């Protein structure tokens, strides 16, 4: 069985749990990003019924603070292996993880316990950002936040996924009319920034199939988005209730969802 849960998502911090349990009852837990302070992460893990010591590994998508957060402190405190790209590692100073750092790269599959992870490159203004396809060999979750636009490579890696944690960052009109300075509007809305709602809905539409069970909207801008706009676009893209649609908030994330 594969399930996941957002522990919070937005520019103030991102983290998601992915958990595989075998028929023999063996459980593997991966944390994708840990963009919070360590006490805040502990609190959010506790709300999910877990402690940091229950984690088998952490995967970091890129070096922005809302994703890498307390990765180094967590890894050292709880002796947890961490996976990230070499670019992400170098961009954060090439710190010593006491032998627990593993370098990930585009299309190089690796396993953590009973989880098979397939990182893939995305266009974003970080040094070597990777997003992640996660499978237990039966069900598949696609994690996709922090990218400026979809590429054929990105779409290919999400095809067949039974659940998506998908960035719906901003409404383009709200962003254009916001108080953000021009350079920031340009960065967020640019090809190496963040997905607009319509771009995200296009991705959902492109990878929609009968087996798609959940789409969780993630990384919503607090200033330049509204959950009701996201829900309307998701419903348009996914055709009503074929898949369960949820919006992960910065404060609370999402509940556990079976993939």
Is the CB of 64 or the CB of 149 nearer to Zn ion?
64
Q: State yes or no: residue 128 binds Zn ion (CB under 5 A).
A: no
Among 136, 146, 167, 171, binds Zn ion (CB under 5 A): 146
What whole-number distance in Å separates Cα of residue 229 and Cα of residue 174? 11
Judged by beta carbon, residue 136 or residue 146, the one nearer Zn ion is 146
Is 167 an interacting residue with respect to Zn ion (CB under 5 A)? no
Range in contact with Zn ion (rule: CB under 5 A) among 16-24, 142-150, 200-208, 222-230? 142-150
Kindly provide the residue ranges of all beta strands, DSSP E only, lying in the chain, ordered along the sequence: 2-8, 15-21, 27-34, 57-59, 82-85, 101-104, 110-112, 115-121, 130-135, 140-144, 163-167, 214-218, 244-247, 257-258
3 counts as binding Zn ion under rule CB under 5 A: no
Closest distance of CB 62 from Zn ion, Å: 6
Bridge partners, residue 121, by sequence: 130
The pattern of x and - marking residues 48 through 67 that bind Zn ion according to CB under 5 A reads ----------------x-x-
CB of 65 to Zn ion, least distance (A): 9
Which residue's CB is nearer to Zn ion, number 11 or number 28? 11
- DSSP alpha helix (H) spans, 7-129: 38-47, 65-68, 71-78, 86-91
Instruction: State which residue, 29 or 64, has the beta carbon closest to Zn ion.
Output: 64
How many Cβ atoms are within 10 Å of 200's Cβ, its own excluded? 29
Per-residue tokens: 49? 């019924």
* Contact (CB, 8 A) for 85 and 104: yes
Nearest approach, Cβ of 203 to Zn ion (angstroms)? Answer: 17
Q: Which secondary-structure segment (H or E) carries 238?
A: helix 227-238
* CB-nearer residue toward Zn ion: 5 or 64: 64
Report how many residues bind Zn ion under the rule CB under 5 A. 3
For Zn ion, the binding residues (CB under 5 A) are 64, 66, 146
């Amino acid at each position: 069985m594969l399930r996941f849960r957002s522990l919070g998502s937005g520019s103030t911090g991102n983290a998601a749990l992915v958990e595989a349990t075998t028929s023999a009852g063996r459980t593997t837990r991966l944390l994708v990003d840990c963009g919070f302070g360590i006490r805040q992460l502990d609190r959010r893990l506790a709300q999910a019924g877990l402690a940091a010591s229950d984690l088998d590994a952490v995967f970091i998508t890129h070096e922005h603070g809302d994703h890498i957060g307390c990765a180094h402190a967590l890894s050292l405190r709880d002796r947890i292996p961490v996976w990230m790209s070499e670019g992400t590692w170098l961009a954060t100073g090439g710190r010593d993880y006491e032998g627990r750092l593993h370098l990930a790269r585009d299309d190089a599959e690796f396993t953590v316990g009973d989880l098979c992870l397939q990182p893939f490159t995305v266009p974003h203004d970080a040094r070597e950002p990777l997003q992640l396809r996660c499978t237990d060999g039966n069900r598949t979750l696609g994690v996709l936040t922090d990218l400026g636009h979809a590429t054929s490579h990105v779409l290919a890696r999400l095809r067949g996924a039974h659940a998506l944690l998908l960035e719906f960052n901003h409404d383009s009109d709200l962003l254009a009319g916001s108080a953000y300075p021009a350079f920031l509007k340009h960065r967020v809305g640019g090809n190496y920034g963040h997905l607009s709602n319509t771009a995200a809905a296009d991705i959902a539409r492109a990878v929609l199939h009968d087996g798609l069970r959940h789409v969780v909207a993630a990384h919503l801008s607090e200033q330049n988005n509204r959950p009701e706009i996201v829900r309307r676009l998701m419903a348009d893209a996914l055709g009503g209730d074929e898949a369960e649609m949820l919006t992960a908030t910065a404060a609370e994330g999402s509940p556990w969802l079976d993939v």
